[in-house]
Structure 1
Amino acid sequence: MSYVDNVYENVVSYYPDQKEYHQAVKEFLESVRTVVENDEEKYQQEAMLERMVVPDREHSFRVTWTDDHGEVQVNHGYRIQVNNALGPYKGGLRFHPTVTQGMIKFLGFEMVYKNALTGLPIGGAKGGADFDPKGKSDREIMRFCQAYVGELFKYTGPNMDVPAGDIGVGGREIGYLFGMYKKLTDQFDGTLTGKGLTFGGSLVRTEATGYGLMYFVDELLKDHGQDIKGKTVTVSGAGNVAIFAIEKAQQMGAKVVTCSDSNGWVYDPDGIDLDLLKEVKLEKRARLTEYAAKRPNAEYHEGHEGLWAVKTDIALPCATQNDITLEDAKALVANGTYAVCEGANMPTTLEATDYLQKNGVILCPSKACNAGGVSVSELEMAQDSEHLYWSFEEVDSRLSDIMRNIYHIIADAAKENDLGENYVAGANIAAFNRVAEAMAAQGVY
């Protein structure tokens, strides 16, 4: 058995129930197999792959809080610090009832290599809890956040681990977390990013992942002699990533015709009405049925089947993992889709990935495409350390430069390794090389 295969088998054996983590590790190891096997003895002697797939540390803790009825509630909290070879641990916090240790580990593993592609000095981590903010009062959410950070603060700091937001953790939650962190540590520092503008936050943070995705797409098309202007784009999701990807795509001249939420999806042949979508999802937090009711030509579809069958030039999955299945991939190929660029974390199944690549659809992975959020988080860290605020234009310009550079990093890695337009492998190889070089230079410990 090869070194790569042995490492993967050990991951499956050691973490048998963590299916999401198996998927992330398998995709990564298959992508870097050729690079590793070209110098297998060196990597094996240093146990490089073992040290990459086993996190530095995994914190699991009880979160005890009291609801509005005076009843004590208990949730499971996590912070998994995967690798800090390039800089302080960096990664979001997710509050959602589906959160498990395996899910957090998979997301943290992805963060290591996503962050490596940015070229910024940050490592990778992820955290969260199986707490559902939906249906909770502001006071309940505040008490939960305070209880969660009562344990989390022990493992964080501006030069140690800098959490940010994710699903279920927005500006409100970051504010509550930061307030209690400040009380517990007597420190006002850059430990949490995604903060409000009045207390150390950065402009463009809300737009960052969606805008960054479109800067990446724009650079991809330019490198292939194409223009995004006039292209038809399909999007899944209706959160910040999807909404601001739609906004930037429209600013660039593309026509976006779909979006979705947890209940269903909308096809709007006239193009998504961005102002209405923002009103429905960001202001009212309502369902897309309300959007469809106000758009005479829009079609609302219950569930998620069929979205990727809509004819499109560029598909942007911005909802959740495993959004595009093998059947969806077949529909995308049949409709002549040019590229799929992942705005969500690992939204394409391994089978769908393989089918798209074998049938000539360019697939750009999430660790490259959705690095805009963490990039602006790091820019927020830089502003905090300098006690400065940068203008919207300056942050946006830096974000654009970072995302366009990421495209060229992964394209060059694919070309150098004779992988053609296999940008999934190109991203993994480029990130692997950067992390492995730093780990080797710092010794075995």
Structure 2
Amino acid sequence: MNPTRFDAAWNAALGHAFRAAETGRDTVLVRDLFGRASLLVDDEDNPLPAEDLAALAEEFRRDTQAFAGAQAVQTASTMFAPEMFFDSPELAVEEEGEPGNHGRVAVLERTVVGADWARDAIAGASPHPEVRERRVALYGFKGGVGRSTATAVLARYFAEQGRCVLVVDLDLESPGVSSLLHGFDQLPEYGIVDHLVEAGVGNAEGLELVTQSSFFEPSHSNGEIWLAPAGGRPREGYDYLAKLNRIYSDLPASEPGGAPKPFCVRLEEAIAACEAQVAGISRQPDVVLLDSRAGIHDIAAVTLTQLSGLSLLFAVDNPSTWYGYGMLLSQWKQRPDRAVELRERLRIVAAMFRSAGDIQRLHKLRDNAQKMFADTLYDDAEGADLDAFHPALEDDQAPHSPIPILFSHDLIGLDPLQDRDWPELPFVEAAYKRFLSEVDELVFPREELS
């Protein structure tokens, strides 16, 4: 008999969960770190006959084979604390139930990374709308597309307009933007990883997390750039890697019966602490730039789905870019409510665009971006539904409309310590001119300034 592979096993498990819910009982499908699935059935108000339970377990194991959990099917009446599963804040609801008719179907993922792409909004992780709207996430599925450099250039641009800017380096595995704004020997004592570690044991009070950029002196404004680095100032006895290895887990409940604190809430608290420090030292930041790490990672997922009001998706026009973004955005497609909430916050950036005068190449990138969004987050374009969200290809305000950053060989190998005024060089201004003006309009629409 051919083995049942990961995807087929999960689809089979989902089928069993939906069929069990047709009996009027709520179901939760739990998938562990190895991909093994267990089906939990809430039978407390509607007992499940023993022979039906045995048959369900046998069929579940047969269809999922190696990906069946050690206890493939369990009922709430036999569990010590069923509410930990049936009432978990991390449940992803596949189908709402109808009392007395159809049970709810939900999924609970036990993963190391990636769960936050499809997770519903969690209380404590999503900041107040006014706070979120001033945050801009800069993200690239692939690294090496100039995201951190663009963050530094954008920070300087906003500061030259007289704004108070906070840059938070969330590329914790490969910090980069910090060196473009500040000398390493002048970093604050602590960084984002320190807050995550210390807050885990209730010890975050008093951490020095931010510093004012030493590379920026406003020419004719009262603008400021503040930096919250990934880690603190390098020094003897400061073990960054040991901290990095301990920050991503959820925290257990602080008291019996309490709720655990997921990583997304912990990251929000760290960013909020940095914002509060800037406000206490100077003034409330007008804009917060979140330099997210690339790839499929919980930091990126949390930053885009929970923490920011605008997400700039850096893209180069090649198949791997669109495959990667399509894979991620399809996770939101499975959660229509989240897709509606998130899709209008997105905007494609044509990163390192090599053809300044070739408008056709920019149109090709736009076409590929529009197809990617149409396959994932846009509504079906068929029919006459006037409320459908499916922007026209030529709509320059649509998520798929690319904002170009022109490529310059002079940016390769740039040493910000030697050339602190590099953002003011003519080739830099030419490369980022359109990017800066369009992002400025997205963050600070003109009507708000009038």
Q: Same fold (TM over 0.5)?
A: no
Which structure would you say has the larger Rg? 2
Question: What TM-score, normalized by structure 2, do the two folds share?
Answer: 0.27
Question: What TM-score, normalized by structure 1, do the two folds share?
Answer: 0.28
Q: Report the structure, 1 or 2, having the larger helix content.
A: 1
